[in-house]
Structure 1
Amino acid sequence: MRHLSLLFLLIMSCFPLHAQIENITEKYDLPNAVSETSGLLFLNGKLITHNDSGDAANLYELDTITGNIIRTINISNATNVDWEDITQDDTYIYIGDFGNNSNGNRQDLKIYRILKSDFTNSTSITSETIAFSYEDQTDFASQPNNSNFDAEAISVYKDKLVIFTKNWKDNTVNAYTIPKIIGNHSAKKVSSYTSNGLITGSTYNKDDDSFLLCGYTTNGAPFLIYIKVNAITNDAIFSGVIERTDINPTLGPSQIEGITAISGEKYFLSREKVEIGGTVLTQKLYRFDNGSFSPLHIDDVELTRLQVFPNPSQEILFIKGLNLDIKQLFVIDINGKTVINQKNSNNQILIKELTIGTYFLKIALKNNTIITKKFIKN
């Protein structure tokens, strides 16, 4: 558990592209047995969660109506060093034992893989192990609250596992990929994004081809990051359409930890039990849908009129045909890094200083709609 009372000494950052989401509803307090709920998974109409450390190697299956524990499933050949998230594909459940306690010094990072059929049919099962290390980590000295090699989020995407880091040092998030197969792998860094907060959970929604990340800022304000991935290139997760939503007005200061897609726009979100300033916030489950996100909510006619030209371009891009007010313009490289960030200036943006290559122009409108267009700098 990371105690938020230690984080409230810092000042909240300001985020230029955030919307409010009002439809998050509290379901119930989770059982005391899962007070450190760290990951969520929706499977066969039931909710699965686990604690992040200090517990046996147990998964807990919950009734989504009452919140009661239906079954406790023990993985007999696994150990819960620091379980942080859980994900699935058609055949397996994957459990991320890669929490690094903000220190960055673990060298036994692993993901446990279990058969869904075993999970469904028994309460005592075995697992296989996918071990990994970060390709760019060379220093394993303990650096409390100052490491970029902690992680609390994992999702299956196509034929890979995507690990989203919890960067204590610079408040960004890195996306790494590894194969879903048993073995010892080097996690490949494929994308980065300035999250201005700590990422604690992720889920992939195949219904609309998107990731939804959850986390909290350095002063405990929870947020969500929606990533529409149909425009990504070379696994650069953060080159897709991105929208950040501050959910602090709805939840208040909270140590949000787990998130899972149910179906369509429906999601569950969990909060870990934590003490803040002498007040104990109990472990809770929340329910919401992502209809409040508006990255593509714009009339089709307006989209067909939108032009970004010339493309390719050497010095300047012009935006034409969009009747809605533009608030901000961003240029994102193929690794998901923001290389230009400017307020709208006569619907144009200078790109002369960029190196030759492929980029994405993110157009943020004043109604919180976000449109992304690919262009080439030559």
Structure 2
Amino acid sequence: MMLRGLLGLVLLSLAGCSSLSSTDVNEAGYLKIETVTSLSSKVVETSGLALRKKRIWTINDSGNGPWLYELDEYQGAVVNRIRVADAVNIDWESMAEDERYLYIADCGNNSGKRRWLQLYRIGWQQLLNIKASEPVASDYIEFSLADPGPVKGLHKHDNDCEAVTRVDDELWLFTKGWLTGTTRLYKMSVDQEDQSLISSETWPVQGLITAAAYSAERHELALLGYTLRRFTSDTFLWRVPVVNGRPDWPAAQHHTLWPAGQWEGIAWRGDELLLTREKSILGEARLGRIQLAPLSR
């Protein structure tokens, strides 16, 4: 979600590039995000990213309508805008995909008090063949977090959520820990309705997680996020090996990314990550990429 108010005017008034302490994390060094293109003014609040058959899709977050946007990779233009039928954008924050479906997670929870969250599911076959100006059909699953943490105020809790990805037969959701800088992992069925989820793990990511993407080919989970200090903001990437369907957090590697900014969406494409950055005081909305060698085991 776009940094506003105190976060935008004070915490991010200057961009910094200091890294987390190597005594606390497995620091694997800096990674440069290569700019592919600037993005259209129609998607300056980009908050998710998905790929299918060489086509790139994104969404905007809260304050925008229930629209899907197809992007031109080389010019950043919106080449297709499709309304999701029977949907409301309360706070769309993440996208995930499998062979059959595109998933949109309406899971933003800045207040920490939102009880029910939604997951919209859209068939790829219909979406990729839809005619201009036609809405795309969707169904949805409602879910809640059964073990929320305490809420001390706006952005003073660990119940926000902006990161969802498909891993095998599950969707994995990661919380945004405003209060403690941790993330909780929730595993969700893609078929069961009205789910109440209990977290399976908590990880000391030392920042705020904004996106997740899993590569089945590489057996690697990528978590994107940023840290907030009094006058600086760092963007980071956690790379987590997944062994037999289970994340191996002790073997995770941390990278600080440059340039900094409000990078909100990621998706794997072979051995590279595509990323989208929301417009903020740190810069314009962009599409970027990072080439990544396999994790050392």
Q: Which runs of 5+ in 2 are unaligned?
A: none
CA distance in 1, matches of 2:136, 2:205: 37
| Superimposed CA distance per residue, residues 29-81 of structure 1 (whole angstroms, 9 cap, x where no aligned partner) | 11000000100111110110010111110010112222221111111200111
From 231, 235, 256, the equivalent of 1:246 is 256
Residue 230 of structure 1 pairs with residue 234 of structure 2: no
From 210, 214, 233, the equivalent of 1:200 is 210
**Equivalent position amino acid for 1:267 in 2:** L
Conserved? CA contact 1:191–1:238, under 8 Å: no
From 202, 218, 221, the equivalent of 1:211 is 221
CA distance in 1, matches of 2:93, 2:12: 22
Aligned residue in 1 for 2:172: 162
Residue 119 of structure 1 pairs with residue 120 of structure 2: no
CA distance in 1, matches of 2:99, 2:44: 29
Aligned residue in 2 for 1:47: 56
- TM-score for the superposition, normalised by structure 1: 0.70
Conserved? CA contact 2:241–2:295, under 8 Å: no
Conserved? CA contact 1:92–1:115, under 8 Å: yes
Query: 3-state DSSP class of the match of 1:275?
Result: coil
| Superimposed CA distance per residue, residues 246-303 of structure 1 (whole angstroms, 9 cap, x where no aligned partner) | 11xx30x31111110012x111011110125xxxx11011111112x6533xxxxxxx
From 275, 279, 290, the equivalent of 2:281 is 275
- TM-score for the superposition, normalised by structure 2: 0.89
- Structure 1 vs Structure 2 CA RMSD: 2.1
From 268, 279, 283, the equivalent of 1:261 is 268
From 95, 100, 116, the equivalent of 1:86 is 95
**Higher relative contact order structure (alpha carbons within 8 Å, sequence separation ≥ 6):** 2
**Equivalent position amino acid for 1:108 in 2:** W
| Superimposed CA distance per residue, residues 105-126 of structure 1 (whole angstroms, 9 cap, x where no aligned partner) | 1123111111111211224112
CA distance in 2, matches of 1:129, 1:240: 35
Q: Would the alpha carbon gap of residues 295 and 15 (structure 1) be closer, same or farther in structure 2, given more than 3 Å must change?
A: farther
CA distance in 2, matches of 1:38, 1:61: 13
Q: Would the alpha carbon gap of residues 228 and 78 (structure 1) be closer, same or farther in structure 2, given more than 3 Å must change?
A: same
| Percentage of pairs with the same residue | 30
Residue 145 of structure 1, CA deviation:
1.4
From 110, 113, 117, the equivalent of 1:105 is 113
CA distance in 1, matches of 2:21, 2:196: 33
Q: Which runs of 5+ in 1 are unaligned?
A: 297-378
Conserved? CA contact 2:19–2:234, under 8 Å: no
Conserved? CA contact 1:129–1:182, under 8 Å: no
Residue 286 of structure 1 pairs with residue 296 of structure 2: no
Aligned residue in 2 for 1:129: 140
Highest Rg: 1 or 2?
A: 1
Residue 179 of structure 1, CA deviation:
0.5
Q: Would the alpha carbon gap of residues 95 and 200 (structure 1) be closer, same or farther in structure 2, given more than 3 Å must change?
A: same
Q: Would the alpha carbon gap of residues 36 and 95 (structure 1) be closer, same or farther in structure 2, given more than 3 Å must change?
A: same
